[in-house]
Amino acid sequence: MGTMNWGIFWAFSLQNAIDAVPGESPLFVDYPGKKTPLAKEYLRVIPATGSGPTGKDDLLFQNLLAAEWAIYSFYQIGVESFTPSNFTRLGWPKSTYDRMVQIRDNEAGHVRIFQEQISNNSIKPGPCKYEYGFGGNPKSWLVLQTYLEVASMAFLTGLSNQADLNVSKSALMAIGQVESRHNAWSLIDVWNTSPFSGPSDTIYPYANQILDLTNNFIVSDSCPSENPVYPSPRQNLPQIEFYSNGTTARPGSDLQFAYKDPKNVPTFNDDKEYWAVFYHGVQKESVRYNPKENRVRIPPFDLDSGIIIVNIAEEKGAPTEDSVVAGPLIILEQPGILTKDISSV
Ligand SMILES: *[C@@H]1O[C@H](CO)[C@@H](O)[C@H](O)[C@H]1NC(C)=O
Ligand SMILES: *[C@@H]1O[C@H](CO)[C@@H](O)[C@H](O)[C@H]1NC(C)=O
Ligand SMILES: *[C@@H]1O[C@H](CO)[C@@H](O)[C@H](O)[C@H]1NC(C)=O
Ligand SMILES: *[C@@H]1O[C@H](CO)[C@@H](O)[C@H](O)[C@H]1NC(C)=O
212 and 296 housed in the same domain: no
In a domain, 231, yes or no: no
Ligand 3 center–CA 171 separation, angstroms? 15
258 and 191 housed in the same domain: no
Q: For residue 92, which ligand has an atom nearest its CA? A: 1
Ligand 4 center–CA 245 separation, angstroms? 6
In a domain, 234, yes or no: no
Protein residue with its CA nearest to atom 8 in ligand 1: 86
Ligand 1 within 6 A of 256 CB?
no
User: Which ligand 3 atom is at minimum distance from the Cα of 166?
Assistant: 1
* pLDDT computed for residue 2 by the predictor: 54
In a domain, 3, yes or no: no
In a domain, 164, yes or no: yes
300 and 261 housed in the same domain: yes
Q: Which phi and psi angles does 255 have, rounded to 5°? A: -125, 140
167-213 pLDDT, tens digit per residue, is 999 999 999 999 999 999 999 999 999 999 999 999 999 999 999 99
Ligand 1 within 6 A of 88 CB?
no
The arithmetic mean of pLDDT across residues 93-109, rounded, is: 98
Ligand 3 center–CA 116 separation, angstroms? 22
Residue partners of 43: CB distance under 8 A and separation at least 6: 36, 126, 127
> Considering the chain, what is the average pLDDT of its residues?
96
Protein residue with its CA nearest to atom 10 in ligand 4: 245
Closest CA to 71 of 196, 210, 200, 188: 210
* pLDDT computed for residue 274 by the predictor: 98
- Where on the phi/psi map is residue 317: left (φ > 0), alpha (ψ -120 to 50), or beta? left
Protein residue with its CA nearest to atom 14 in ligand 1: 86
Ligand 3 center–CA 176 separation, angstroms? 21
Residue partners of 262: CB distance under 8 A and separation at least 6: none
Ligand 1 within 6 A of 140 CB?
no
Q: Which amino acid is at 256?
A: Q
147 and 255 housed in the same domain: no
47-93 pLDDT, tens digit per residue, is 999 999 999 999 999 999 999 999 999 999 999 999 999 999 999 99
209 and 253 housed in the same domain: no
What is the signed CA dihedral for 103, 106, 111, 112, rounded to 10 degrees? Answer: 160
Protein residue with its CA nearest to atom 1 in ligand 2: 120
Protein residue with its CA nearest to atom 3 in ligand 3: 166
Reported as a pLDDT band with limits 50, 70 and 90, residue 304 is confident
10-20 pLDDT, tens digit per residue, is 999 999 999 99
120 and 180 housed in the same domain: yes
CATH of the domain at 291: 2.60.40
Q: Could you tell me how far CA 231 lies from the centroid of its own chain?
A: 13
In a domain, 233, yes or no: no
Domain interval for residue 276: 240-338
Closest CA to 313 of 206, 232, 198: 206
Ligand 4 within 6 A of 293 CB?
no
* pLDDT computed for residue 5 by the predictor: 86
CA 58 – CA 64 distance, rounded (Å): 10
Q: For residue 49, which ligand has an atom nearest its CA? A: 2
196 and 285 housed in the same domain: no
150 and 68 housed in the same domain: yes
* pLDDT computed for residue 21 by the predictor: 94
255 and 160 housed in the same domain: no
Protein residue with its CA nearest to atom 4 in ligand 3: 166
In a domain, 227, yes or no: no
Whether pLDDT at 30 is above 80: yes
CA 190 – CA 93 distance, rounded (Å): 8
In a domain, 344, yes or no: no
151 and 271 housed in the same domain: no
If one counts the domains in the chain, the total is 2
- Within 202-315, where are the H helices? 207-213
Residue partners of 34: CB distance under 8 A and separation at least 6: 79, 80
- Return the percentage of the chain with pLDDT > 90, whole number: 97
In a domain, 4, yes or no: no
Positive/negative CA dihedral, 94, 88, 37, 171 = positive
Whether pLDDT at 3 is above 70: no
Whether pLDDT at 1 is above 70: no
79 and 150 housed in the same domain: yes
161 and 22 housed in the same domain: yes
Protein residue with its CA nearest to atom 4 in ligand 2: 120
Ligand 3 within 6 A of 166 CB?
yes
275 versus 6: the higher-pLDDT residue is: 275
* pLDDT computed for residue 6 by the predictor: 86
141-154 pLDDT, tens digit per residue, is 999 999 999 999 99
Q: How far is CA 181 from CA 31, 135, 148, 190, in A?
A: 18, 26, 13, 13
The arithmetic mean of pLDDT across residues 91-104, rounded, is: 98
